[in-house]
Structure 1
Amino acid sequence: MNVQERVNKFVKDSKRVLKVSRKPDGQEYRELAKVTSIGVVIIGVIGFVIMLLGALIGL
């Protein structure tokens, strides 16, 4: 597959993705923000616990 064919395939695939995608409504956006926030908090807590254990052990 040469470069021109790859570019054409990429453009075709990109058009298809943009055609089926849509803007999320308000409720979907709030749910996504909530899930993302919970994930950030969980990762932060895990990092804090690791740092706390490292400080207690003396690393």
Structure 2
Amino acid sequence: MDQTKGFLTKAKSFIIECKRVLKITKKPSNTEFKTIVKISGLGILVIGLIGFAVQIIATLIK
């Protein structure tokens, strides 16, 4: 019975914490969103190019 109460207490406090976080967050502006998309895309591209280069080097070494 104590485990159920502990779980319910933790779940309730988690929901309260989520509500608090959602209240203080704001929607990004259009320019901020575009900047985030550009930087994320650039990061994905760089990681992909590094992986491709490693694969090419590994193929040439074989």
The TM-score, its normalising length taken from structure 1, stands at 0.91
Q: Which amino acid aligns with 2:55?
A: M
- Over aligned residue pairs, what C-alpha RMSD do you find? 1.1
2:29 paired residue number: 25
After TM superposition, what 4+ stretches of structure 1 lie above 6 angstroms from structure 2?
none
Q: C-alpha offsets along residues 11-58 of structure 1, whole Å, 9 cap, x if unaligned?
A: 110110110111111010011011101101110110111111111001
Structure 2, unpaired ranges of 5+: none
Q: Which amino acid aligns with 2:38?
A: K
Instruction: Provide the aligned length of Structure 1 versus Structure 2.
Output: 58
1:49 paired residue number: 53
Structure 1, unpaired ranges of 5+: none
The TM-score, its normalising length taken from structure 2, stands at 0.87
